[in-house]
Amino acid sequence: MSTQTIAQNNAISIKKKKSQVTKSYSIWRGLSLPVFVLILWQLLSSLDILSAQLFSSPLLIITRFIELVQSGEMAKHLQISLIRAFLGFAIGGFLGLLIGVIVGMNKRAEEYLNPSIQMLRTVPLLVITPLFIMWLGFGELSKVLLIALGAFFPLYLQTFLGIRNVDKKLYDVAQILEYSRMDQITKLMIPASLPNILLGIRLALSAAWMCLVVAELLGADRGVGFMIQDARSFMQTDTVFVGIIIFALAGKISDSFVRFLENRLLKWQDSFKA
Amino acid sequence: MESTVKIDHVRKTFKSDNESIKVLEDFNLAVKYGEFLTIIGPSGCGKSTLLKLIAGLDLDFEGEIMIADKSVNGPSKDRGFIFQEHRLFPWLNVEKNIAGNQSLKDPDIRSKVDHLISLVKLKGFEKAYPRQLSGGMSQRVAIARALLRNPKVLLLDEPFGALDAFTRNHLQEALLEIWEENRTTMILVTHDIDEAIFLSSKVVVMDAKPGRIKGIVPIDLPYPRTRISKAFQEYRTVILKYLDHQDNEIEDWII
């Protein structure tokens, strides 16, 4: 054991400690702004400067949240919302990925499909919603389809983009190694465009949450969106806030999940990390 | 089966908008089984293009190229290709890059991959990703990947051009070891005269515009060769003369 290795070990442990410290610092830095806003809000509410009717107070919102959880109301709404979001995301995301791969791999398919998809993409989803309701009523199908539509475009677009960015040089290699068409897709195109696909999934998830809210606000008898709409008509500001927080949390959790996937699946990438 | 690769009256022209450039003009060459053939020539002489034609990556040419008596009509595993860059899949680690679309769970593939990893001296790096490897290591992985497919011929397009002198020498020795063990037919394209003499059993010197064979120099030196020997120096002179002079001046030098 030479002094050099000891020095090296020391250097490594110092480095580790430093990165742990920076990590916990970065969590606190992220939390500082929301915590500050919450304290200020509670303070202003307690001092009656903010109208209790319109703004509730953080404490009231928490109490309301606990009530809703205990009564089982929350579980009822959350469950149906999650099912809708998941189904819509799964259908739209899967189709986006599939059609993105097909259009990305095949020039003919691109010529036939891409112009129409690009045109449809620019139409605001809110404009299509009335049609969905007219055709399919207020049932689950129209909601799930609206969410699917929202999730479809980002994933389609990013998959297509990712495949078109695959290095021609690697494609040559796959040809020399006699990859079948299926191997080319699963072992070259999809892994190579994974950074784009994961970005597409993130965008598709946020689009799915957005469409879920739209669908539930427009007409539903259950779901977190309905809970908000219902509370609004009774001026239950605290419940509205609880609903908003639920959406914020759901969005954050799904986003973190994709980030986790990115860290796991893209560890081969050698990109700049500030 | 006399020759692994037979190139028969091959012509290749690149057509741009209003002019066509002759890249290869009536090119004929037969590469014997187990031979280490090097093609050397100035840039633009069509040597890399020729390699792409043999690989089947470019099918737009006149004439015929035969691999083990079968006409080339597309890329295939029987012609391994080592590019100037390693072209590894960045999302796969070393062993998975070598296996490619074959499964490492297959014990036969597993043992072949393990054997190749020790052949290219990368034991201990099986799980490393391409970004963690040096240029020379990456190129060795690329060679192992090609060898796993048991190619009839290995095509090498300036494979060591981007490496530093030390790594290059080391890899040249490694390639010779592989060749001596496997006896795979090799066709190497380079512009490094020393590399050509050090490695090959036969050197083809090419002329540019249009690309055609200027001379063929068999290298009759026993392996391993030393770059400082007198005979090595003589071969160097012969090839340099081919490259530098007009056809009529070099006739005395043909051996």
**Residue A181 belongs to what H/E stretch?**
helix A181-184
Average pLDDT of chain B, as a whole number? 88
Q: What is the pLDDT of residue B200?
A: 93
Stretch B224-232: mean pLDDT: 89
pLDDT for B163 equals 85
Tell me the sheet residues that pair with A170: none
Using a CB-CB distance cutoff of 8 angstroms, which residues of chain B are in contact with residue A172? 57, 75, 81, 87
Nearest to A258 by CA among A197, A191, A188, A186: A197
Which token pair is A255? Answer: 């986003």
How many angstroms separate the CA of residue B203 from the nearest CA in chain A? 25
The Cβ of residue A47 has, within 10 Å, a number of other Cβ atoms equal to 8
Measure B110 CA to nearest chain A CA, in Å: 17
pLDDT tens-digit profile of A88-135? 999 999 999 999 999 999 999 999 999 999 999 898 888 888 888 888
Is residue A178 within 8 angstroms of chain B, CB to CB? yes
CA distance A147 to A141: 10
- Write down the H helix ranges in B183-229: 193-199
**Residues whose CB falls within 8 Å of the CB of residue B9, separated by 6 or more in sequence, listed in order:** B26, B27, B28, B62, B63, B64
The proportion of chain B whose per-residue pLDDT surpasses 90, expressed as a percent, equals 46
Neighbouring C-alpha atoms within 13 Å toward the C-beta of B212: 9
Across residues A58-70, what is the average pLDDT? 91
Tokens describing residue A87? 């189904």
Give the minimum alpha-carbon distance from B75 to chain A in angstroms, rounded to a whole number: 5
Indicate the pLDDT class of residue A147, thresholds 50, 70 and 90. very high
Strand B70-71 vs strand B62-67: parallel, antiparallel, or unpaired? antiparallel
pLDDT at A102: 94
How many angstroms separate the most distant Cα atoms in chain A?
A: 79
- At residue A1, the pLDDT reads 43
Higher per-residue confidence, B223 vs A205: A205
Share of chain A above pLDDT 70, in %: 91
Nearest of B151, B5, B4 to residue B82 by alpha carbon: B151
Lowest mean pLDDT among B19-33, B173-187, B235-249: B235-249
Task: Identify the bridge partners of residue A261 per DSSP, sorted by sequence position.
Answer: none
B59 neighbourhood in chain A, CB within 8 Å: none
As beta bridge partners, residue B38 has B188, B203
Higher pLDDT, B38 or B19: B38
A61's enclosing H/E stretch is helix A58-70
The CA-CA-CA angle for residues B152, B77, B108, to 5°, reads 90
3 state SS of B175: helix
The more confident residue out of A164 and A51 is A164
b (16+ CB within 10 A) / e for A112-128: ebbeebeeeeeeebeee
Structure confidence at residue A9 as a pLDDT band (50, 70, 90): low
| Calpha distance A118→B44 (Å, rounded) | 43
Q: Which two tokens stand for residue A163?
A: 């495949």
User: Residue B185: what pLDDT?
Assistant: 93
Region A212-227: mean pLDDT is 88
Average pLDDT over every residue of B198-222: 89
Per-residue pLDDT at B251: 47
**With an 8 Å Cβ cutoff, is A173 touching chain B?**
yes
pLDDT of residue A272: 66
Q: What is the 3-state secondary structure (H, E, C) of B89-152?
A: CCCCCHHHHHHCCCCCCCHHHHHHHHHHHHHCCCCCCCCCCHHHCCHHHHHHHHHHHHHHCCCC
Residue that has been written with the tokens 């029987």 in this structure: B78
Residue to test with chain A: of B101, B156, B157, most A Cβ within 10 A: B101
Give 3-state DSSP helix, strand, coil % of chain A, rounded to 5: 85, 0, 15
Q: Strand B202-207 to strand B185-190: parallel, antiparallel, or no bridges (unpaired)?
A: unpaired
Distance CA B204, CA B189 (A): 10
More confident residue, A21 or B147: B147
Count of A-B CB contacts under 8 Å: 57
> pLDDT tier at A19 (50, 70, 90 boundaries)?
low
Query: Using 50, 70 and 90 to split pLDDT, how confident is the model at B255?
Result: very low
Residue A11 confidence (pLDDT) above 80: no
Q: Does any CB of chain A come closer than 8 Å to the CB of residue B80?
A: yes
- Specify the pLDDT at position A52: 78
Kindly report, residue by residue over B141-199, the tens digit of the pLDDT. 999 999 999 898 999 999 998 888 888 888 899 899 889 888 899 999 998 999 999 99
What distance in Å separates residue A188's CA from the closest CA in chain B? 8
Does ipTM top 0.90? no
Q: Is the peptide bond before B107 cis (omega within 30 degrees of 0)?
A: no
What average pLDDT does the segment B94-102 reach?
93
pLDDT in tens, A220-256: 889 999 999 899 888 888 999 999 999 989 998 999 9
| CA closest to A194 among chain B residues | B91
Q: Would you say how long chain A is, in residues?
A: 274
Contacts of B57 in chain A (CB under 8 A): 172, 175-176
What average pLDDT does range B81-109 have in this prediction?
Answer: 93
Q: Which residue from A147, A216, A159, A150 is spatially nearest to A190, judged by alpha carbons?
A: A159
- The pLDDT, as a whole number, for residue B44 is 78
User: What is residue A10's predicted lDDT score, i.e. its pLDDT?
Assistant: 53
Contact A208, A150 (CB under 8 A): yes
| pTM of the full structure | 0.81
Reported as a pLDDT band with limits 50, 70 and 90, residue A218 is confident
Q: What is the pLDDT of residues A22-36, one digit of tens each?
A: 667 888 888 899 899
pLDDT value at position B248? 45
Question: pLDDT category, B252, cuts 50, 70, 90?
Answer: very low
How far is CA B13 from each of CA A49, A267, B10, rounded to the nearest angstrom?
83, 44, 10
Contact A191 B77 (CB under 8 A): no
What is the least distance, in Å, from the CA of B49 to any CA of chain A?
14
Q: A192–B91: do the CB atoms touch at under 8 Å?
A: yes
- Cα torsion B218, B223, B229, B235 to 10°: value is 10
Chain segment A72-93, per-residue pLDDT in tens:
889 999 999 999 999 999 999 9
Inter-chain touch A170–B87, beta carbons under 8 Å: yes
pLDDT averaged over chain A?
87
